[in-house]
Structure 1
Amino acid sequence: MAYEVNGKSIETTDAGYLVDLNDWNEDVAKLIAAEEGIELTQQHWDVLEYLRDEYINNNGNQPMERAILKAMAEKWDNKKLTSKDLYTLFPRAPSKQGLKVAGLPATNRKGGY
Structure 2
Amino acid sequence: MGYSINGTEVEADEQGFLLEPLYDDEAVRVIAQAENISLTDAHWEVVNYLREEYREHGHTPNFRNMLKGFAEIHPGVDSKYLYDLFPIGPAKQGPKVAALPQPLGKGGY
- Same fold flag (TM > 0.5): yes
Q: Which residue of 1 aligns with 2:48?
A: 49
Q: Which residue of 1 aligns with 2:61?
A: 63
Question: What's the TM-score, normalizing by structure 2?
Answer: 0.86
Cα deviation digits, residues 46-70 of structure 1 (max 9, x gap): 1111111111122x23212222223
Indicate yes or no: 2:82 matched with 1:83: no
* Larger CA Rg, structure 1 vs 2: 1
Gaps of 5+ in 1: none
Question: What's the TM-score, normalizing by structure 1?
Answer: 0.83
Partner Cα distance (2:106, 2:70) in 1? 22
Moved over 3 A (4+): none
Partner Cα distance (1:70, 1:40) in 2? 22
Contact 1:47-1:68 at 8 Å conserved across structures: no
Q: Secondary structure at the match of 2:91?
A: coil
Partner Cα distance (2:9, 2:59) in 1? 27
- Aligned sequence identity (%): 44
Q: Supply the AA of the counterpart residue of 1:71.
A: G
Aligned residues: 108
